[in-house]
Amino acid sequence: MEIAVFSAKPYDRDYLDAANAAHGHRLKYFEVPLDGETVGLAAGHGAVCIFVNDNADAAVLEALGHGGTKLVALRCTGFNNVDLNAARDLGIKVVRVVDYSPNSVAEHAVALLMAINRKIHRAYNRTRDFNFSLDGLMGFDLCGKTVAVIGTGKIGRVFGKIMLGFGCDVIGYDTFPSPQFEAMGARYAMPGEISVSADVISLHCPLTPDTYHIIDADALSRAKRGALLINTSRGGLIDTEAVINALRSGQLGGLAIDVYEQEAGVFFRDLSGTIITDDMLQRLVTFPNVILTGHQAFLTREAVTTICETTLQSVTDFESGKPLANEINAG
């Protein structure tokens, strides 16, 4: 099948080509993201393969349909960038990668937490200049602290399990409670408990209309003063302006994020020689108690291998008329 692969990076090409040896699809790579200006590149391709910051809104999907595209294959788990209602009305199937490596994202969240707590980023910069002063590098023991996991799916559960190994009291919140979360020794929080007792809050839920800005000014005002906030899920879960204000006042003790709500057009690109016009992003990186990584939590050999294999298997199943195990349906 002809597949137009958008937002293709070198590692995408390497791993998709390796996985495609078992399928024989014809892959056409485009470095540009899918949007209203680039959708014409997909004309004549039965499938498009897109990533987290590609845009598959109603207008783009309509253009894809006119160009002969019948399948949108997301090489990621989140699908907030696809208009599922429009896809259904146009007869375009949408698939995603439901399960690749929850360990990759959960372990990155732990790395961010350890780094922001123990000031690893500041120590690294200091010692590069042979400054071995310890002033300002004080952290706290994680053992005995309360860690709140917002979203207790596979990634959230792996993160919680690691935190239990540190000796933390792990509490969770999810609209669909998981028996596995409780079975491993964690527990679901009572109303108001997270804001009162959580020393660390880590976000592991999808971005939906209900979770958009779940961390806003009100939530931050009720949080334990000095708490650390970790986000490896989706940038839109956090109201960035409210977080900046909470950092400035000291209400929030630190922020470590791998995602940013305005990351489209910025992340996955080398902008080191350009002027960044995003004022919020500019302000974020000026705080000494903020760590920002560029949506790399998924980036392990194991995860990318599974993502590529699962994505191409979905295309093969679609082409063969088989049921689509990873199909996403509207509503």
At 97 the pLDDT is 95
Q: Over the stretch 155-207, which tens digit does the pLDDT of each residue have?
A: 999 999 999 999 999 999 999 999 999 999 999 999 889 999 999 999 999 99
Mind listing the domains of the chain with CATH numbers?
A: 2-100+300-320 (3.40.50.720), 102-292 (3.40.50.720)
What is the three-class DSSP state of 200? strand
- DSSP secondary structure of 123-183: HHHHHHTT----TT------TT-EEEEE--SHHHHHHHHHHHHTT-EEEEE-SS--HHHHH
Q: Over the stretch 249-282, which tens digit does the pLDDT of each residue have?
A: 999 999 999 999 999 889 988 999 999 999 999 9
pTM of the model: 0.89
pLDDT at 331 over 90: no
Q: Over the stretch 76-133, which tens digit does the pLDDT of each residue have?
A: 988 999 999 999 999 999 999 988 889 999 999 999 999 999 999 999 999 999 999 9
Active site residues: 234, 263, 295
At 264 the pLDDT is 87
Residue 302 pLDDT class (50, 70, 90 cuts): very high
